[in-house]
Amino acid sequence: MFVSDQQPASDDPSMRHDVRNMLATALLAADLLSAHADPAVRRQAETIIAAIESATARLKGQRK
C-alpha cells in the first residue's frame, strides 16, 4: 500500500543517467586496476569492467 509514496525508479527519467554516472566512477577505478602487476588483480578488474559495461548497455535499453 501507499504505493504513491515510493516513486518507482523505472518511471524516473533521470535514474538511468544517475546510475551510469555512478558506474563511470567504478569503471575508472577498474581501468586503473586492469594495468596492475598482479595478474589476479588484472583478471578481477576485467571481470568488473565487463560486468559494468554489460550493465551500462542494459541501461541504454539494449538487449544483452
Task: Report how far residue 11's alpha carbon sits from residue 17's, in angstroms, rounded to the nearest whole number.
Answer: 13
Which of 3, 11, 35, 39 lies at the binding interface for its own copies (CB under 8 A)?
A: 11
User: 45: how many CB neighbours lie within 10 A of its CB?
Assistant: 19
Contact between 39 and its own copies by CB under 8 A: the answer reads: no
Residue 42 within binding range of its own copies, rule CB under 8 A: no
C-alpha 54 chain-centroid distance: 8
Q: Which alpha helices (DSSP H) does 1-64 contain, by range?
A: 15-33, 39-59
Q: How far is the CB of 40 from its own copies (least distance, A)?
A: 8
User: Where on the chain is the footprint of its own copies (CB under 8 A)?
Assistant: 6-13, 15-16, 18-19, 22-23, 25-26, 29-30, 32-33, 36, 38, 41, 44-45, 47-48, 51-52, 54-55, 58-61, 64
